[in-house]
Amino acid sequence: MVQNDEPITNNTDHAISGQELPVTATAVSGGSNHKKLTLIPLVFLIYFEVAGGPYGEEPAVKAAGPLFALLGFLIFPFIWSVPEALITAELSTAYPGDGGFVIWAERAFGPFWGSIMGTWKFLSGVINVASFPVLCIDYMEKLFPVFSSGLPRYLAITVSTIMLSFLNYTGLTIVGYAAVALGVVSLLPFIIMSLVAIPQIHPHRWLSLGQKGVKRDWNLFGNTLFWNLNFWDNVSTLAGEVDRPQKTFPKALFIAVIFTCLAYLVPLFAVTGAVSVDQNLWETGFMADAAQMIVGKWLKIWIEVGAVLSAVGLFEAQLSSCSFQVMGMADIGFLPRFCAARSKWFNTPWVGILASTVITLGVSFMKFTDLISSANFLYSLGMLLEFASFLWLRRKRPQLKRPYRVPMGLPGLVLMCLVPSVFLVFIMVIATKTVFLVSGLMTAGGIVWFFFVKLCKAKKWCVFGSIQAED
């Protein structure tokens, strides 16, 4: 048996057997020789895992006014994004395999909780992925009203999902460089708008607590911040595909946190300072209207096109995480061996991509708000388990080799995790009955799946273990 602080070997234990599993060399290497992700593509993949641009930050102003919106995007990263990124950096470098957070939970609390973590994170991921084609079509219907409802809308969602999934199939390196291009094109109009807005800015507008007569909606405010600044840990499932992950991951996460925060704050400061409109107009998509007010209609069109490109980038980044999670879980024995199969042409985890795409299509016809609420609830469950795993591993394995280590003792780490945990509980408590029901059924399904896989191993109905481990 391989212990956590020993060198990685090619042994692959049965994760569901009750024994501790090793992180296999195949999980770390990502399989046969292929191009690995370097720093810049990884930064943009993280960026698209989390944000994809300032699109969607507008409701924070509607909910609580300019001052609270600015403070929210200034402060919330320190109590949520930074802790999550730090935890991801430490554990991804300690366990640099494609299983990511599944490995962390298993190492801390055993196979059952590793499997449940996989269920929560995978389902929250694919549900979240399903929201992006819907978002694309929502923007497209402004230019082409035929996509607003009925068969044309359903066909557009289905076709766009399949096409975007095929792009993902062509390879993570291609997806990484595509993310760089998409990031530049979608952010450039906001940079132009912010520069042109400088002479028009009235700083006193930043101090506004909101329009008189408009009631603050703290539920909307919290969900907006959470939606725009979560999923930092999703990139951990790509750790086996990264060049020198022990060095590259901390750098990429550090750069991505700064980059993401600036991408939200700069346009928000520019528009709230330069434009004075009814607070209720700050709906999703208002940045495009603001661009027309500040610069002209051509920039509004560019931002609307950029929103579609941003949704494409978000789709590709998060589908990559979901598909490599499937492969990583197969590598460490949580799923049958065939789930780790890679394409011979592109070396991508085609089973993971196919499974993720099928589930994405299955839930893509839900309402956008129901998609987001369900994804947030399952994600919150997974994050609470992730925080607990991080703290327990620090206590349980203080001598574990951690190429990057959060520079705090256990009491400080507990405090660092406590504040975002309270917020996660709040997000879960305010969920609707429908979300409770859907999340409960999915969790129950995950528990049944764990014992079904255990039975499959006992009866030898399926072969488990890494494909590459026997090559």
pLDDT at residue 119, as a whole number: 93
pLDDT at residue 377, as a whole number: 86
pLDDT at residue 366, as a whole number: 67
What pTM does this model have?
A: 0.82
Residue 114: Cβ within 10 Å count: 30
Question: What DSSP assignment string belongs to 403-442?
Answer: SS--S--HHHHHHHHHHHHHHHHHHHHT--HHHHHHHHHH
pLDDT at residue 112, as a whole number: 95
Would you state the torsion angle of the CA atoms of residues 160, 161, 165, 166, taken in this order, to the nearest 10 degrees?
A: -40
Question: What DSSP assignment string belongs to 76-127?
Answer: HIIIIIHHHHHHHHHHHHHS-STTTHHHHHHHHH-HHHHHHHHHHHHHHHHH
pLDDT at residue 13, as a whole number: 42
Tell me 20's DSSP state: P
> Phi/psi at 336 (nearest 5 deg)?
-60, 155
pLDDT at residue 103, as a whole number: 93
Per-residue b or e along 177-186, where b marks 16 or more CB atoms closer than 10 Å to that residue's CB: bbbbebbeeb
Name 277's bridge partners: none
Name 336's bridge partners: 464
Question: What DSSP assignment string belongs to 447-471?
Answer: HHHHHHHHHHHHHT-S-BS-SGGG-
pLDDT at residue 370, as a whole number: 66
Full set of structural domains in the chain with CATH = 15-470 (1.20.1740.10)
- With residues binned 3-state (H G I as helix, E B as strand, rest as coil), the percentages for the chain, rounded to 5, are 75, 0, 25
d(CA 224, CA 218): 10
Q: Which residue has the tokens 């195949």?
A: 26
Query: What is the full per-residue pLDDT of the chain (471 aa) written as tens digits?
Result: 333 443 333 333 444 444 444 444 344 444 444 568 889 999 998 998 888 889 889 999 999 999 999 999 999 998 888 999 999 999 999 998 778 899 999 999 999 999 999 999 998 888 888 877 877 777 677 667 888 777 888 888 888 889 889 988 887 777 888 889 988 998 999 999 999 999 999 999 999 998 888 888 887 888 788 888 888 888 888 877 888 888 888 899 999 999 999 999 999 999 999 999 999 889 878 898 899 999 999 999 899 888 888 888 888 888 999 999 999 899 888 999 999 888 888 888 999 999 999 988 888 776 656 666 777 788 899 999 999 999 999 999 999 999 999 999 999 999 999 989 998 888 788 777 888 888 888 899 999 999 999 999 998 888 887 544 333
Per-residue b or e along 188-198, where b marks 16 or more CB atoms closer than 10 Å to that residue's CB: ebbebbbebbe
HEC string of 198-216 equals HHHCCHHHHHCCCCCCCCC
